[in-house]
Structures are given as structure tokens and as C-alpha cells.
Chain A
């Protein structure tokens, strides 16, 4: 039974002399190979080298601290509510007297988890946050061996206590200025 008429019968012709010695075919192949040595590489040596991201790139989340180093997040749950992938879960706790330097408001997130496998990096959590606590940074999610390693807790989300100066207050602005200088645009 024939379904289409595209089938071709195999032709077995005898090879001519130049085909029989193979040298022209080898020369042709090697010329393509050597030509690529002088072309610009399309790949980079990641992770030593990294590509520049767009200023609006949405990477792994970061939970910001305020200017005094206290966590901004108050566990209001709006990020989890806005999340279309339901990747965010949190548990709130009440700040105890003496913890004012750790947490900015009387409620804080004692547990805050983002499942990076669920996350689609849409940035709606960033939009929803009333406290400017969560931002999508310009680093990409690290690879891991197990699924459970993709559930990022507060240990990996909260920014370090003494971050590099450029990251402290004007996160967005620094990112934009870097992009302007990198791309050689006027401010």
C-alpha cells in the first residue's frame, strides 16, 4: 500500500574516479572545519564569563532589607496571592521585643519559600509587594541535583546582612545605570 507518492527508489550507481579517491570530499569537509576556527564564537565560557542581561531581566528573587538592615517583608501574602503558578508559601510570626533591628514591622515571615520549579518568573510578586521587599534579580536560578533543592527558603532568598554597597538602597537605579553605561547610552 502506498500512502504518498514521495517515496524514491534507491539508485545504486557506480562511483566515478573523483568520488572513488575521496580526496575532494575530504578537502571540502576540512575547509568547512578550518573556516570555523577564524569565525567569531557564538558561545561564551559560562560560568567564568557571563552575558549582560536586559535591565528588565527577571531572574531569581531576592528579599530586600531596608536601610537599617531589617527585613522588609511583613508576610502580607500578596505575592503568594498574585502568583499565577502558586509557587510562594509563607508563615508569619510576630516580632518580639528586641528584634526591631531584624524585622521592620511587627509581623514578619518566619518561613518564606519559593518553588523555583513552579515559578515562571513573571514578576507579578514584585508588582504586588506593598513593602518593596521582593525583587527579581538579574541572576539565574542555579542548577541542582534534586527537586527539593529548588525550593528556596529564606536562607537563599533574603539578601545578605552586609551586601555590597551598590545593592543596598537603589537596586533598580544601579541596575539601570549599569545598563546605560554598558550599552554606551547617555544618561
Chain B
């Protein structure tokens, strides 16, 4: 166990823990935002630069500060390290700049995008970004691509976090898509638009932090804040069958994995569950999901929050 100090809070973590995970165990405002790091995917992180923090003292042995801001998702804690996240103005200013960089080529077509309302880039821009834009040059233009029958790729919205390629690498035996080219021309592509036909390919939609990979079966069907998320399960031979069913009335509009508060799915689910079972009869509904108080998804839902109902013993 080693001791680190994050924003003035001292905590003990396992040897080898990254600064981001240490901050997450602390919770609260000190947790740096992360667009590319995904705890369930090995090797993710270090690409989006959202999670940059200031290291005021490298370790107890060598207390010199690190010369530049470091990416907290790939930097391990040292004993006696002093980290500044939300307490450092330099970090906050850098986050503003990073949001500007991420939005350089982003089309800002949120009114059209199916991800709007649960988009990490939207949240990031809202919390850490500037209200205006200084960018006047043309943005990247791509045609929409159907990756197989279920997934739609909008390359214009992609922020190149590489999460989807890691899903393909680590969840499925053979990857048929990847990131082509380099630098500002790089793009996600399949080899000659080959369909991705793996049973778990749909998880690319869940791990995508923006609306670049979206569910074709849910395309333009509704906005996420008009739907109510319910925990549901079914017996599935391929996956655990534990999902979130997004309902409007008795109709299931879409199925996604269950995401934790950092937007990372708890269990990857199979395409069968995700795309093929949209009948309410296929699923056993466990109960409404807790929606974050600040989330737009909870808007216009006037019923008492799930935890209130639990506290009042109104749910059985």
C-alpha cells in the first residue's frame, strides 16, 4: 500500500494503481474526466488527454514536481505523490483547451445524434468546456457507413479513443476493423467495409463515448430522455443476459448494457440480447434504474426516485 494525496485528500492505494483509479476511489469532483480510458478494456487510455492532472510532488523519495501535466489514466501512483486535479487552475484551463481540441472536427450535430443526452463528450463540454467556439476552418467530412446490419458509423463524430477496436480485440476472436491512417486523417474503418458479424460486436456502441457508433435498430426512434431505463434480464446462452431495457410505455425501444457511474458497462452483452429481443415479453423487468439527478434522462419523469421508493418500502 502506498500513500497519495489528491486535491489535499490523503488516501492509501494498492501499489500500481493509476492516479485516475485512485481518484475514482476517492470520488467527488476530484475525479478527472476520461474519454478514452475504460477500466474493462486492457491498454485503453492515454489518448484523449482529458484526464491530465498536475503532479506537485513525484514521490516521497524524489519530491520534485513533474515538469508537465500527466495523463492520470496511465500514470501510476508513487508513495508520497501529491496530485492536484480540480484544485489546480492550470489543470482546469488545460481541460478547456482539450475540449476545444476534441471538438475541432466534431460536427456538433447533437440535435440529430442518437447519443445526445448520454454522450460523454456533451457532458465534458458542458462541465469543462467553453460556451463558444473559435474554430472557423472546415471540419472533416465522411459518409456514414453501415458496419454490418446493426451498427452505423458516423466517422465525423469520432474522437479516436480506440475503445471500439479494443473491444473487438479483447472480446472477439478476430478483429475486422481498426484505425486507418495517422494523425488528423486517421479514421475507423473495416477492411473494404466488411461487415462485423461477431456475437459481441454490439458492445462497440456501448463503449463509444460519442455518437460515432450507434445502434441501427434504434436509429432516430426516440430521444433517450423520452425513454425510461429499467434493469431487465433473460436467460441467454451467450452472455449474462443482464441488460438495461429502455422503455416508452410497454414498448422496448432499445437494449444496452448496464453502465456504472463512469459510463462503463458492467457486463458485455451479446448481439442477440441487444438487437433481436425487443419484445417486452422476452424480458423480466427487475425495476427502474437509478438516474443521476443531473442527467437529462431523468427529466419529465415525475415519479419519486428509485431510492426514495426503496426507503419508503414501496417496492417489493
Contact B112 A106 (CB under 8 A): yes
Q: Which residues of A contact B223 (CB under 8 A)?
A: 76-77, 81
Q: Is B225 an interface residue (CB 8 A)?
A: yes
* Number of B interface residues in the complex (CB < 8 A): 15
Q: Which of A1-9, A50-58, A86-94, A158-166 contacts B (4 or more CB under 8 A)?
A: A86-94
Q: Which residues of B contact A76 (CB under 8 A)?
A: 110-112, 116, 223
Knowing A81-B299, A107-B220 touch, does A130 contact B226 (C-beta < 8 A)? Answer: no
Contact B299 A105 (CB under 8 A): no
Interface residues of B in 181-235 (CB under 8 A from A): 219-223, 225-226
Beta-carbon nearest neighbor of A130 in chain B: B111
Beta-carbon nearest neighbor of B225 in chain A: A81
Beta-carbon nearest neighbor of B226 in chain A: A77
Beta-carbon nearest neighbor of A106 in chain B: B112
Q: Tell me, rounded to whole Å, the shortest Cβ–Cβ distance linking A13 to chain B.
A: 65
Knowing A74-B111, A105-B109, A105-B112 touch, does A94 contact B300 (C-beta < 8 A)? Answer: no
Q: Which residues of B contact A75 (CB under 8 A)?
A: 220
Q: Contact partner of B225 among A77, A86, A94, A130, CB < 8 A?
A: A77
Beta-carbon nearest neighbor of B299 in chain A: A81
Q: Is B296 an interface residue (CB 8 A)?
A: yes
Q: Is A116 an interface residue (CB 8 A)?
A: no
Knowing A81-B225, A81-B299 touch, does A94 contact B220 (C-beta < 8 A)? Answer: yes
Q: Is A78 an interface residue (CB 8 A)?
A: yes
Q: Tell me, rounded to whole Å, the shortest Cβ–Cβ distance linking A24 to chain B.
A: 65
Q: How far is the CA of A161 from the CA of B88 in the complex (A)?
A: 55
Q: Which residues of B contact A107 (CB under 8 A)?
A: 111-112, 220
Beta-carbon nearest neighbor of B109 in chain A: A105
Interface residues of B in 281-316 (CB under 8 A from A): 296, 299-300
Q: Which residues of B contact A92 (CB under 8 A)?
A: 220-222
Q: Is A80 an interface residue (CB 8 A)?
A: yes
Q: How far is the CA of A79 from the CA of B296 in the complex (A)?
A: 13
Q: Tell me, rounded to whole Å, the shortest Cβ–Cβ distance linking B182 to chain A.
A: 29
Q: Tell me, rounded to whole Å, the shortest Cβ–Cβ distance linking B143 to chain A.
A: 11
Q: Which residues of A contact B221 (CB under 8 A)?
A: 92
Q: Which residues of A contact B226 (CB under 8 A)?
A: 77, 80-81
Contact A131 B111 (CB under 8 A): yes
What residues of chain A have their CB less than 8 Å away from a CB belonging to chain B? Answer: 74-78, 80-81, 86, 92-94, 105-107, 130-131
Subset of 8 A-B contacts with CB under 8 Å? A75-B220, A76-B112, A81-B225, A81-B296, A94-B219, A94-B220, A107-B111, A131-B111
What residues of chain B have their CB less than 8 Å away from a CB belonging to chain A? Answer: 109-112, 116, 219-223, 225-226, 296, 299-300
